[in-house]
Chain A
Amino acid sequence: MTTSAATTYDLGHARPNGWWAMVLFVAGETTLFLMLFATYFYLRLQSRHWPPPGVDKPAVLVPSLLTAALVATSFAMQRAWRNGRLLNRVAALRWLALAGIVQGGYLIWQVHDFVDACHKEPPSHSAYSSIHLTMLAIDHLHVFLGILLTAWLLMRFATRITPYRLRTLQATAFYWHAVNVITVVVLLVDLSPHVG
């Protein structure tokens, strides 16, 4: 099954257990974010001014561009998975590395902006600052978790491909698609004060 002549592994007809586990984990994460969004709008409904006077509305351009770059890594992860599936280890590794670099760059930039925002409007300033910064922090945390997974795969694919690693890549690619969708929604919620 894993001979050198093989062009792919027999991973069975059904989705692997790890993929299902990731789907369920993402379902839990999605609920967490839905609760965050619900909290954001619940608190917004309690306030006359959102954001409160003296607090700037969130920046639009840079977060949007960063998010677009992050979303593009879904393509890279999918290419990595496709190449891995064909046992093309080097190509898979390259796509993974590309994705990892963009994801890492995204996070570094976002954390820098986050620290800056914490100085400008500390979370102890108002309910708006509290939920705004908490939502971003949790989003950055789950991007960080994804980067750990990408880094792990880079290490594992550097030596060889095994069915176990391939399944991990499949699950991680799914995770990144979900992270990217959630990050887009986080961005939209964050920018919602611009639309009234």
Chain B
Amino acid sequence: MAVASPPVRRRIDRLERIWAERPGVLGWLTTVDHKRIGLLYFWTTLVFFAAGGAEALAMRTQLSQPEEKAIGPATYDQLMTMHGVTMIFFFIIPMTTGAFGNYLVPLMIGARDMAFPRVNALSYWIFLGSGIFIYSSFLIHSAPDAGWFDYVPLALKRYDGGLNIDFYALGLIFNAVSSTVASVNMIVTIFRLRAPGMSWNRMPLFCFAMLAASLSLLLALPALVLDCVFLELQRKVGFHFFDVAHGGSPLLWQHLFWFFGHPEVYIIVLPAFGIATSIIPTFARRKMVAFPLVAMAELLVAFIGFGVWAHHMFATGISSSVLVLFGAASMMVVIPSTIQVYAWLVTVNLGTPIFRAPLLFIGGFITFFVLGGLSGIMFAAIPLDQATTDTYFVVAHFHFIIFGAAVFPLLGGIYYWFPKVTGRMYDERLAIASFWVTFVGTALTFFPMHIVGLLGMTRRVYTYQHGLGWGIYNLLETIGGYILAAGLLMIAGNIAWSMRRGIPSGRDPFNGGTLEWATSSPPPHYNFAVIPTVRSAYPNWDEEDRENDLLRLEDDELVLSTGHETPLSTVNDAALDRVAEMPPESPWPIVVAFAVSIAFALVLTTHYVAAAAFFAAAVAAVGAWNLNEPEEA
């Protein structure tokens, strides 16, 4: 930026003063800044990722050879269940929607914060509370132990009498509160806070992916919540939802669970698509091919995801005509997925790609997504699905998708936006090395699972006998697991080192096309000194518009330096509607989350009256929070 004139300097100083938050720990506890909340999500989910990874390594060590005795069956069950629960509910979803979504979406759409900043903080603190709640189960050796899908009747009191399943059901209900609140906030932010001119056809594909994922979360989670409510009512109060003797049905659990569980796969993968569509144009140095088709495909994947839940239940004995319908619906998912794969590949092919670490991770993502997708299509063939149900072939498929297709873009995204968040560059050579180690580790861990699955090894077993021909594959998988862990540690080391020692990155080291690159690195509290105007889907490549931003800053046009304000726009065309005052930092979100956390702990221990009192306290705290009304502009 050219040297700022005194009036501009004064405006920027005023913005600094208005948007700055309290320093120190108290500032983090009361923050409503989307960037700080995004970072809180990031570091917290990394801790959960480490825990989930350690659980995976412990399982792989146990399975490295036949009749290994590293851990016993009860511990194995708990580690297996918590590995799945952690990776899905406490790592990937909060990392994508909470960390990446929170930090990047307001920047990409040219806003100063999320639509509901205090609610944003609440969603983080409730997420943290739910994580602590469910992990505290390890302290009393009662971690959930019936698999991440928690099938009944195994999960009923009769077969699992401890608190293990109660931790699971209550923990997921608790966690769903956070995800629901976060989804509503994300959708309203995308609807209403887009910079003037950012109509739907100019919105970044990353934001389309976040929109699709948030809509899916909002509409899928109620099924899981209801399922867990039914389970708790049956376990604690003696209701009969899943009990055949009293007119219930165990399959009811599966229907409701997979009505959530299958969209869940797309909730996990869609943000990864969004990251890919951010990284590819930057490093291919051209706009995304078939932009509107890719945007529609992202939304279509989310929509179709709601119609295929029973393909997880092909071996449960439901009627053939139903199976055929769900098999056909499962095939349909291929169409929007393929549109995107072609668009990614053609964009790279037509561009002049620079294969830096973020793009390499996207290459890894496409490889694993196609491989995992091909085995996914195989499951739509009902006989093959029935033959491979509950074998390691299924484990191989979903790990190629969930780790290869969902986590690889996250790792690429960490490198890609690292300079934006920290203002420093990562070490490129170490980043490329870490990609190859992670890629080899992933392939070696999960590819042999296809073979061992076809050889008949069932999933969820804590050991196996000699002479079955499974030993060598399991040993390879375990070696792969440790290589994969080494790759991830290299990434962590690179980040840790570069945060302190990396060379300054400047505002836009990669010449990215979206608006987050139009502001300084790291971004100031107020994100943009002047609210940008948008005339294309890659506004940072519109040099004239960005130069006009400087002129508008001189003219005090949409600088909004007199209050804690952000503009609101119309939903379809993103025309400027009005200016809204945003609430300042607040202690109430953490107070509400604390009261809710205690209430859930009391429900777990069947102190219902005390729990009701804490829920009432949470409601009262929400009331107190709303006493402080933002003054209207």
Residues of chain A at the chain B interface (Cβ within 8 Å): 1-2, 9-15, 17, 20-21, 24-25, 27-29, 31-32, 35-36, 38-39, 42-43, 46-47, 52, 123-131, 134, 148, 152, 162-165
Evaluate contact between A32 and B226: CB separation under 8 angstroms: yes
Please count the residue pairs between chain A and chain B whose beta carbons lie under 8 angstroms apart in the complex.
Answer: 126
B554-581: contact bitstring with A at CB < 8 Å (1 yes, 0 no)?
Answer: 0000000000000011110000011010
B180: chain A residues at CB < 8 Å are 28
Evaluate contact between B247 and A43: CB separation under 8 angstroms: yes
B159-179: contact bitstring with A at CB < 8 Å (1 yes, 0 no)?
Answer: 000000000000000000000
Evaluate contact between A35 and B218: CB separation under 8 angstroms: no
Evaluate contact between B632 and A14: CB separation under 8 angstroms: no
Q: A35-B226, A43-B248 are in contact. Are A152 and B219 (CB under 8 A)?
A: no
A152: chain B residues at CB < 8 Å are 623, 626
B552: chain A residues at CB < 8 Å are none
Q: Is B515 interfacial (CB-CB < 8 Å)?
A: no
Residues B231-267 near A (CB distance < 8 A):
233-234, 237-241, 243, 246-249, 252, 255-256, 259
Can you list 18 A-B pairs with a CB-CB distance of less than 8 A? A2-B632, A12-B578, A14-B192, A14-B570, A17-B568, A20-B191, A20-B192, A24-B188, A24-B218, A32-B222, A35-B226, A43-B247, A52-B247, A125-B240, A125-B246, A127-B240, A127-B246, A134-B233
Q: How far is the CA of A14 from the CA of B238 in the complex (A)?
A: 49
A12: chain B residues at CB < 8 Å are 568, 577-578
Q: Is B225 interfacial (CB-CB < 8 Å)?
A: yes
Minimum C-beta distance from B185 to chain A (A): 8
Q: A28-B221, A35-B222, A164-B630 are in contact. Are A20 and B188 (CB under 8 A)?
A: yes
Q: How far is the CA of A194 from the CA of B568 in the complex (A)?
A: 51
B377: chain A residues at CB < 8 Å are none
Evaluate contact between A134 and B230: CB separation under 8 angstroms: yes
Evaluate contact between A17 and B115: CB separation under 8 angstroms: yes
Contact of A130 among B185, B239, B626 (CB under 8 A): B239
Evaluate contact between A127 and B243: CB separation under 8 angstroms: yes
Q: Is B629 interfacial (CB-CB < 8 Å)?
A: yes
Q: Is B322 interfacial (CB-CB < 8 Å)?
A: no
Q: Is B324 interfacial (CB-CB < 8 Å)?
A: no
Q: How far is the CA of A14 from the CA of B259 in the complex (A)?
A: 34
Evaluate contact between A43 and B184: CB separation under 8 angstroms: no
Which of A12, A13, A24 is the most central at the interface, judged by chain B CB atoms within 10 Å of its CB? A24
A164: chain B residues at CB < 8 Å are 629-630, 632
Q: Is B116 interfacial (CB-CB < 8 Å)?
A: yes
Evaluate contact between B239 and A27: CB separation under 8 angstroms: no
Q: How far is the CA of A2 from the CA of B631 in the complex (A)?
A: 11
Q: How far is the CA of A27 from the CA of B221 in the complex (A)?
A: 11
Question: Interface size for chain B: under 10, 10 to 19, 20 to 34, or 35 or more residues?
Answer: 35 or more
Residues B190-213 near A (CB distance < 8 A):
191-192
Q: A1-B632, A134-B230 are in contact. Are A148 and B252 (CB under 8 A)?
A: no
Q: How far is the CA of A148 from the CA of B632 in the complex (A)?
A: 25
Minimum C-beta distance from B184 to chain A (A): 5
Contact of A31 among B223, B229, B569, B570 (CB under 8 A): B223
Evaluate contact between A126 and B192: CB separation under 8 angstroms: no
Q: How far is the CA of A39 from the CA of B632 in the complex (A)?
A: 45
Q: Is B299 interfacial (CB-CB < 8 Å)?
A: no
Residues B563-619 near A (CB distance < 8 A):
568-571, 577-578, 580, 619
Complex: chain A residue closest to B189, CB-CB: A17
B239: chain A residues at CB < 8 Å are 123-124, 130, 134
Q: Is B395 interfacial (CB-CB < 8 Å)?
A: no
Q: Is B294 interfacial (CB-CB < 8 Å)?
A: no
A28: chain B residues at CB < 8 Å are 180, 184, 218-219, 221-222
Which of B183, B188, B233 is the most central at the interface, judged by chain A CB atoms within 10 Å of its CB? B188
Q: How far is the CA of A24 from the CA of B190 in the complex (A)?
A: 13
Q: Is B410 interfacial (CB-CB < 8 Å)?
A: no
Q: How far is the CA of A1 from the CA of B249 in the complex (A)?
A: 60
Q: How far is the CA of A86 from the CA of B381 in the complex (A)?
A: 62
Q: How far is the CA of A25 from the CA of B214 in the complex (A)?
A: 12
Evaluate contact between A31 and B238: CB separation under 8 angstroms: no
Q: Is B88 interfacial (CB-CB < 8 Å)?
A: no
Complex: chain A residue closest to B180, CB-CB: A28
Q: How far is the CA of A176 from the CA of B240 in the complex (A)?
A: 31
Q: Is B308 interfacial (CB-CB < 8 Å)?
A: no
A125: chain B residues at CB < 8 Å are 240, 246
Evaluate contact between B247 and A126: CB separation under 8 angstroms: yes
Complex: chain A residue closest to B187, CB-CB: A24
A134: chain B residues at CB < 8 Å are 229-230, 233, 239
Minimum C-beta distance from A2 to chain B (A): 7
Q: A13-B577, A126-B240, A130-B241 are in contact. Are A21 and B246 (CB under 8 A)?
A: no
B218: chain A residues at CB < 8 Å are 24, 27-28, 31
B255: chain A residues at CB < 8 Å are 38, 42
A123: chain B residues at CB < 8 Å are 233, 237-240
Evaluate contact between B632 and A162: CB separation under 8 angstroms: yes
Q: A24-B184, A35-B259 are in contact. Are A124 and B238 (CB under 8 A)?
A: yes
Contact of B241 among A17, A20, A127 (CB under 8 A): A127
A24: chain B residues at CB < 8 Å are 183-184, 187-188, 218
Minimum C-beta distance from B427 to chain A (A): 42
Q: How far is the CA of A177 from the CA of B256 in the complex (A)?
A: 27
Evaluate contact between B219 and A39: CB separation under 8 angstroms: no
8 closest Cβ pairs, A-B complex: A127-B247, A32-B222, A124-B238, A12-B578, A130-B239, A31-B222, A164-B629, A127-B248
Evaluate contact between A39 and B184: CB separation under 8 angstroms: no
